[in-house]
Amino acid sequence: MKKFNPALAIQDIVSLGEFKGVNPDITDSATFTFSKAQTMTDTFQGKTEGCYLYSRHWNPSNKSLATMLAAMEDTEAAWVTGSGMGAITATILQLCNSGDHIVSSMTIYGGAFAFLNNYLKKFNIETTFVNITDIDAVKKAMRPNTKLIYTETLTNPLLQVSNLPELSKIAHQYGAKLVCDNTFTPMIVTPVHHGADIVVYSLTKFVNGKNDCVGGAICADLDFINSLADVNSGTAMLLGPVLAPQLAASIQKNLHTLHIRMMQHSKNALYLAKEFKKMGINCVYPGLPDCKGHETFKSIMNQEYGFGGILTIDLKTAEKANKVMEKMQDSGVGYLAVSLGYFKTLFSNSGKSTSSEVPEDVQKEMGMSEGLIRFSVGLDMDIEDTFTRIKNVLSTYA
């Protein structure tokens, strides 16, 4: 059997425009006509194929991007949303009802943590947070009313590696779903091959790669995607986290270079991680053999694409981290900014930014240092020069 390759899956899709343009058309219509009234009725009832009704439901541009993302993730279908949080929240609300329970990694994106920990309480949906790498802790947290295990392939920002096959076994023993955010590791890991039921993305990050738009995606089996789109009970349909078709078309074009970009991000990040270790800097990167999740990551990765573009260093105090980040920006290393997956290197102090929704006592419980700097390593052509600049800053301020 031919080995699955996400880049080849994308490459095999033909997406010409209506008049044979090399790029698919952008359909910016909010509503669509029908030649027969009965067809409109049937479409509302989900009885037609290939008919478009209203762009909150489906749009040809969004459908084209969703088809390509499903191919990349090797799922039956996909749905695109206006943001990564739109994908996360729509998925969880579709799976859960009042009185249900969720088991989640304690170390996840701050917005997702706040949604699970704070917002869902108004619906009487409870979340138990665990160290996702502690399989026994995950087992102990499961309840008869647990509907899903939520994790990130590579957790944000501590870069813990989720053992997807083991988590899948636990979830399925309880009739629950394994929902996996793969934002940090597109192409590098194909979660459904390791037992994940639903894969969510912030397309804003590596998938798009230009930080010029916000978007999200849900990749799953056809039944789940159809349930999201149901006009009577579909969360994505009724809450309306729609992605603009112009952005869908832009993201789709960028997908064709994702494999090249992920390889370069990975190459550069591995170089920096090795150099940080030589300096005696506390660095976490899954590509380092002494990283706790290294072997687990190797067992689930598509090795052509490397170990990803995210790494962290620990400078112990927020004050020191802030000085270093400011000076790195002044030295042309990259930008002091949140988000990731950009062609320039981005760095931020996670505890004070993208994880600031996580209470400080929980940050300490999960082992997050106040001096943690998360790097999203860019596509630098001369990574040796980049490291020299970083080293000069660290030599002075760290």
In a domain, 337, yes or no: yes
Print the domain residue range for 35.
6-255
Q: Which helix (H) or strand (E) holds 198?
A: strand 198-202
On whether both 244 and 264 belong to a single domain, the answer is no
Q: Answer yes or no: do 43 and 107 share one domain.
A: yes
C-beta of residue 53 within 8 angstroms of C-beta of residue 44: yes
Beta strands in 19-125 (DSSP E): 77-81, 101-105
The answer on 349 and 205 residing in a single domain is no
| 312 located within any domain | yes
The secondary structure of residue 345, as a DSSP letter, is -
On whether both 22 and 164 belong to a single domain, the answer is: yes
**Taking the chain, what is the end-to-end CA distance rounded to the nearest angstrom?**
51
In this structure, the answer to whether residues 175 and 39 fall within a common structural domain is: yes
CA distance 255 to 250: 9
**Cα gap 267→380, rounded to integer Å:** 10
> Which of 204, 231, 255 finishes a domain?
255
* 101 phi, psi to nearest 5 deg: -135, 145
Query: Could you say which of 227, 255, 283 is where a domain stops?
Result: 255
Question: Within this chain, do residues 237 and 269 fall inside the same structural domain, yes or no?
Answer: no
DSSP lists the bridge partners of residue 346 as 335, 376
pTM: 0.95
User: Is residue 26 domain-resident?
Assistant: yes
Residue 198 neighbours by CB distance under 10 Å = 26
- Pair (201, 283) in one structural domain: no
Q: Do 33 and 175 sit in the same domain of this protein?
A: yes
Contacts of 342 (CB under 8 A, 6+ apart): 209, 210, 211, 335, 376, 378
Residue-by-residue pLDDT tens, the chain, 398 positions: 568 999 999 999 977 777 788 888 899 999 999 889 998 888 887 788 778 888 888 899 999 999 999 999 999 999 999 999 999 999 999 999 999 999 999 999 999 999 999 999 999 999 999 999 999 999 999 999 999 999 999 999 999 999 999 999 999 999 999 999 999 999 999 999 999 999 999 999 999 999 999 999 999 999 999 999 998 999 999 999 999 999 999 999 999 999 999 999 999 999 999 999 999 999 999 999 999 999 999 999 999 999 999 999 999 999 999 999 999 999 999 999 999 999 999 999 976 655 567 777 887 887 789 999 999 999 999 999 999 999 999 998 76
Asked whether residue 334 is domain-assigned, the answer is: yes
Distance between CA 383 and CA 272 in Å, rounded? 8
184 and 290 assigned to the same domain: no
**194 and 153: one domain?**
yes
364 falls within a domain: yes
Is residue 300 in a domain? Answer: yes
Are the C-beta atoms of 84 and 204 separated by less than 8 Å?
Answer: yes
What is the spatial distance between Cα 44 and Cα 385, in angstroms, rounded to a whole number?
Answer: 58
Task: Kindly state whether residues 99 and 210 are assigned to the same domain.
Answer: yes
CA distance 68 to 314: 38
Q: Which of these three, 255, 283, 303, is where a domain ends?
A: 255
Kindly state whether residues 172 and 153 are assigned to the same domain: yes
Q: What is the CATH number of the domain that holds 49?
A: 3.40.640.10
Alpha helices, H only, 213-349: 222-228, 235-239, 245-255, 258-279, 294-300, 318-330
Q: What's the CATH number where 305 sits? A: 3.90.1150.10
Name, in order, each residue with C-beta under 8 angstroms of 61's C-beta and a sequence gap of 6 or more: 24, 25, 26, 27, 28, 245, 246, 248, 249, 252
1 domain-assigned:
no
**Total domain count, the chain:** 2
